[in-house]
Amino acid sequence: MAPTVEGGDAALLPEFPRGPLDTYRARASFSWKELALFTEGEDMLRFKKTIFSALENDPLFARSPGAHLSLEKYRELNFLRCKRIFEYDFLSAGDVFESPLRVSALIQCLGMYDWSLAAKYLLHTLIFGSAVFSSGSERHFTYIQKIFSMEIFGCFALTELSHGSNTKAIRTTAHYSPATEEFIIHSPDFEAAKFWVGNMGKTATHAVVFAQLHVPGGQCHGLHPFIIQIRDPKTLLPMPGVMVGDIGRKLGQNGLDNGFAVFHKVRVPRQSLLNRMGDVTPEGTYVSPFKDARQRFGASLGSLSWGRVTIMGMAVANLKLAVSIAVRFSATRRQFGPTEDEEIPVLEYQTQQWRLLPYLAAAYVLDHVSKSLFLDLVELQRGLAAGDRSARQAELGREIHALASAGKALASWTAQQGIQECREACGGHGYLAINRLGVLRDDNDPNCTYEGDNNVLLQQTSNYLLGLRACRVQDGACFRSPLKSVDFLDSYPGILDQRFEVSSVADCLDSAVALAAYKWLVCYLLRETHEKFNQEKRSGSDDFEARNNCQVFHGRPLALAFMELTVLQRFHEHVHRPCVPPSLRAVLGRLSALYALWSLNCHVGLLYRGGYFSGEQAGRVLESAILTLCSQLKDDAVALVDVIAPPDFVLDSPIGRADGELYKNLWGAVLQDSKVLERASWWPEFSVNKPVIGSLKSKL
């Protein structure tokens, strides 16, 4: 049973220890506790505190200064910790749909502690579990209880050694044999080995394996998922015909065992096919509720949307950690000043504000959007589970696919760039491993790659938009989507006639200004990408070559601008709701405006080229507004960080602790490292064994 947290608001949101950060906390224009309650809600705050408290009070999760574990020991410890999470029972199988945001919260809480632990738990429960639930039928639901009791341990096996993004070219095969009512799972050669599969290296007993489904007569019905046992749960030895192993050390997240598997004519029962999207009768006839193979293929990969939306939240969590460390450091680190006798916090410098505060705003904005998109995905999965085959359900799936693809790219890149900026903003101290910024950078890095390379995913989004435009031209259809992300395109011609007419910085401090600019930018890039594609076609290119030649300066910025607009639109609407407390409206509005203008500033060249901006004043107003918002948010920065930072035990960064005792904490952490004061074990190499100068010089 999960532990509980008792007490009132004081216990839920205790005061921070007195110290050097008090000055900034006293300057804040809002109550950090009020913002925390508004942003998360009391129930979610209690849920997170329960998790954090359990980790901090359990010796299994104790931080060990100076401990450098071997790969084998780290993975053993990570597995033991994952098992302990199940013992705490923070999350039940029913919570996935009944309290979906708790799923996301648990993953982020575990990740803030250690992403190897979060990834291991996530891949087993959410990715593997949701694949079984959403792609399987009642005959597979017995696995769900086994997943949450850890009777089995799962992984999601799509990627192969020679194929990742091009999922349609996956080469693992599943040939059906009517005589035995079995599928024969086979890897034709080593290049078809399942590869990079998290949990597969050492611990997974079962895998959702994607393979090309063949029926008697030779017809292939494309990629389908199968649930296959790859190890014996009692011994963890491979099943007959399965060669399974570990791919070795990675750049980060080494507590997670990524592995490979090769199948040699492995026979599995017909019922192993996860058959919600398509099935095979005992006689070998293929049947599917989807008439269109492309629609079926998209639905069968629905689990990838779970992964991509979850990665958005993971990236945001990393950004929160990095910004929390860097802002607290900047508020206490004093360098230079107006006189030789007075040093001021580096947060007072405009450059430091410009480097950090947009990423603080991004953490708030992207956090809200990742949660809202997660709830949209839950709605989609509920429809699939209920057998909804309506046109709206299909369109919702396409829209979420487009948003999840670009959202994952935007969030992971923003976090990666933000963590690096935070590392540099903390100077040399940021480069010390004990301050965690390097680990965050390495652990966030794969978010840019797995579940789809970011640049490839952006093509999914631009293709979605180009497809909508084609339907408009051919059928005269309106631009409409279930989540309303494309509805503004119905005013496409009129939007393109608009121009930037803001002449003062004061008028630019509302995110509505950037919203209007973004709508124009998306319409402009959609037109330009469409025209570029047609130009390529007229020049003799086929569809493949034409699309390939449209990506770098057309499709890619189109997808990013569309996602940035969607993110901004959702957060703008969120902070302008009537339920927002009056005391929070100003700071939330500034966060919204800063993120909007800072993001828009990356597209200034396009805004000028397309004619939305003209003259020097437009660019100057935009830049001045960004700096003005940074200045306005500077005194709120520490309180904003206090809302999103986890407890010190979880943050695990001496320079980012809540008491602000920067040098005391850092000095203490350095002295706690093992053997820090000991003489080097190889000291005789210096003191005794002196080099004979020139002894190895060539005599020729």
Indicate the residue type of 420. Answer: Q
What is the arithmetic mean of pLDDT over 532-554?
A: 93
Note the residue count of the chain: 700
Other Cβ atoms less than 10 A from the Cβ of 320: the count is 26
What domains lie within the chain, and their CATH numbers?
154-291 (2.40.110.10), 475-646 (1.20.140.10)
* Cβ–Cβ under 8 Å, residues 53 and 5: yes
Considering 160, 182, 399, 451, which one is annotated as catalytic?
A: 451
Residues flagged as binding site for FAD: 159, 198
Residue matched to tokens 């076609």? 537
| Cα 37 from Cα 108, distance rounded (Å) | 18
| Cα 503 from Cα 299, distance rounded (Å) | 48
The DSSP letter of residue 138 is G
Contacts within 8 Å (CB) and 24+ apart, 393-398: 394/295, 395/481, 395/482, 396/481, 396/482, 396/483, 397/298, 397/299, 397/302, 398/298, 398/464
Other Cβ atoms less than 10 A from the Cβ of 646: the count is 21
Identify the CA nearest to 259 among candidates 413, 361, 148, 120: 120
Reported as half-sphere exposure (CB side, CA atoms, 13 A), residue 547 has a value of: 12
Residues flagged as binding site: 159, 198
φ and ψ at residue 320, rounded to 5 degrees: -60, -45
pLDDT tens for residues 274-295?
998 899 999 999 999 877 766 6
What's this model's pTM, rounded to 2 decimal places? 0.95
* Cβ–Cβ under 8 Å, residues 670 and 434: yes
* Cβ–Cβ under 8 Å, residues 433 and 439: yes
pLDDT tens for residues 350-377?
999 999 999 999 999 999 999 999 999 9
| Res. 130 pLDDT band, cuts 50 70 90 | confident
Contacts within 8 Å (CB) and 24+ apart, 467-472: 469/526, 469/530
| Cα 290 from Cα 38, distance rounded (Å) | 43
The tokens for 63 are 């931080």
| Res. 37 pLDDT band, cuts 50 70 90 | very high
Helix (H, G, I), strand (E, B) or coil at 181: coil
DSSP 442-475: HHHGGGGTTTS-HHHHHHHHHHHHHHHHHHHHHH
What is the arithmetic mean of pLDDT over 591-618?
A: 97
| Cα 148 from Cα 152, distance rounded (Å) | 9
Number of helices (H), then strands (E), in the chain: 27, 11
pLDDT tens for residues 668-683?
999 988 889 999 999 9
| Cα 428 from Cα 345, distance rounded (Å) | 16
pLDDT at 406 over 50: yes
Give the H or E element holding residue 39.
helix 32-40
pLDDT at 192 over 90: yes
Reported as half-sphere exposure (CB side, CA atoms, 13 A), residue 266 has a value of: 27
Average pLDDT, the chain: 93
Identify the CA nearest to 359 among candidates 435, 409, 421: 421
CA dihedral 689, 694, 698, 700 (to 10 degrees): -140
The tokens for 255 are 């507590």
Q: What are 207's strand-pairing partners?
A: 155, 228
φ and ψ at residue 470, rounded to 5 degrees: -65, -40
| Res. 340 pLDDT band, cuts 50 70 90 | confident
Q: Active site includes 451?
A: yes
pLDDT at 6 over 60: no
| Cα 69 from Cα 590, distance rounded (Å) | 44
